[in-house]
Structure 1
């Protein structure tokens, strides 16, 4: 009986933390989703407006005729098409973000469902614990059960830290892939400026496309990393502006790809990617230190509990 309730306490404390964690993450995802949906609406309106601007220039009219005769039509049409492309690109990216968030919310809800009655189960277990202590069947039973609750909390916290570390490592991996692609694009861009011709321009563009894919992956992983940090930030004493981890990707997708062929913009992207990599790496170093400290505390608690049980 004593051993059974001891193990139940360890497990249920972990389940309680998990339930709270999932609820906080869902709420944060939903708040983010509202922002994304407003952005989609704005971009849809902007895309329609940009498309109409292009259509107006392509239709025959006095303005169109004047622009043609004055030699400015092609220049204006090129500008409008560029704006249309930038809006469409950003709209596509935000739609992908919405899909990522929807999938994450559904995944968390599926994890949350089996934990719907965990508070009731905990209350029942507390009554069993109280009865066991009062019965006096085991010396120091109250201290052993108290240690079991602490052990459950610490185990759950270590799991949360490790989940955050795993998410952060995925961010680093995507950022490193993006950095490599941007470096290749930069090198080929230099060759292009030195007269490399069509081939160097094509290869540069291919590396830019690869970098864009990796940056989208980095943004997706960054979002999940940010949610994991919500659970451990206060306990781990992390002094980091979590929101900035998500904002950085907007640098690349707010029309940036349209200007990606400009060599200076590639350099800016490379610098920003490296900076974010260092920020994430710094957070991971702190999280790993925290895991070591908590595992040491957990070992002490388990040792104290073992000694008490052996003395009974």
Structure 2
């Protein structure tokens, strides 16, 4: 059986936990920055102190300044610089220590609040069940909100499935373009006097591209199944006809090479256009998905408020 005062206390804990999570994230970022700063200042302080130690010892620099009569002047300068470096380092170390203390306290409080969201959700659902059992007027509005949330959840799932299918198609388009670009490079070499290796490599890339096109068409059909109101032209062909391949291998004529190059370029354009279409549809889908997420969250928040604020009729 729920109790309103316990529900209110749990809600406050959830709000406090959310606040602490933000603070902890900020404090961790501050700690990383201050740790780097303190490390740099410590290195600088050690370097300045090393300069003082060299002058106070039997170093070549000490001998030089003693010989020129400027030892005390130089030593005072180095001591001032070492002191300033130590002051900066000590200040940074104290600041780092303060941040670490704040972070430790907030992390400890976060650990104590672990599980408060689940407890609040359980208490909230307990109150919702009590409202329904009592036939409270608020129960009808809660049920209506739950139905809207379920519809939004279904739409989100459908959009996400379409988005995943679209990204799969986009990935295959990228693979095809990679093969076509490689074929284009081999074709250029072939036209500049390449040997049989260039021919074989070029056509191998085209064969691989054609196999990938077949898979891309499968992915696009899946994508289009989710998007019956969107038209995507996926009728692409990459393979060469028999005459061009025969001429390219055995006559190795410039005309045939140019025909192959032209075919590659046309295929690149077709694949790029299809990829662009998929990308545009994906942008629209992701925008719709984000809107559905916001709508779902708003409904969930409204449902929570309805349950929390409801006052069951007393017997």
TM-score (norm 1): 0.50
Unpaired runs of 5+ in structure 1? 1-131, 234-239
CA distance in 2, matches of 1:173, 1:150: 35
Q: Is the 8 A contact 1:184 1:207 kept in 2?
A: yes
Deviation, structure 1 residue 300: 0.7
Q: If you compute each CA radius of gyration, which structure gives the higher value, 1 or 2? A: 2
2:186 aligned to which of 185, 188, 191: 188
Q: Is the 8 A contact 1:171 1:218 kept in 2?
A: yes
Q: Which residue of 1 aligns with 2:141?
A: 143
Q: Which residue of 2 aligns with 1:55?
A: none
Mapped pair 1:296 → 2:294: yes
For residues 163 and 278 of structure 1, do their structure 2 counterparts lie closer, same or farther at Cα, with a shift above 3 Å needed?
Answer: same
Mapped pair 1:211 → 2:209: yes
Mapped pair 1:179 → 2:177: yes
Give 3-state SS (helix, strand or coil) of 2:136's partner.
coil
Structure-to-structure mapping, 1:163-312, within 5 angstroms:
163-230=161-228, 233=229, 240=230, 242=231, 244-246=232-234, 248-249=235-236, 251-252=237-238, 259=244, 262-312=260-310
Deviations 1:150-175 (A, max 9, x none): 11110000000000000000100000
CA distance in 2, matches of 1:182, 1:270: 7
For residues 259 and 298 of structure 1, do their structure 2 counterparts lie closer, same or farther at Cα, with a shift above 3 Å needed?
Answer: farther
For residues 183 and 258 of structure 1, do their structure 2 counterparts lie closer, same or farther at Cα, with a shift above 3 Å needed?
Answer: farther
CA distance in 1, matches of 2:158, 2:243: 39
| Off by >4 Å, runs of 4+ in structure 1 | 255-261
Q: Is the 8 A contact 2:190 2:198 kept in 1?
A: yes
Deviation, structure 1 residue 138: 2.4
Unpaired runs of 5+ in structure 2? 1-130, 249-259, 311-315
For residues 215 and 259 of structure 1, do their structure 2 counterparts lie closer, same or farther at Cα, with a shift above 3 Å needed?
Answer: farther
Q: Which has the higher contact order (CA 8 A, sep 6+)?
A: 1
CA distance in 2, matches of 1:136, 1:278: 56
CA distance in 2, matches of 1:285, 1:259: 40
Q: Is the 8 A contact 2:238 2:264 kept in 1?
A: no
CA distance in 2, matches of 1:306, 1:256: 65
The alignment yields a C-alpha RMSD, in angstroms, of 2.2
Q: Is the 8 A contact 2:206 2:238 kept in 1?
A: no
CA distance in 1, matches of 2:177, 2:309: 59
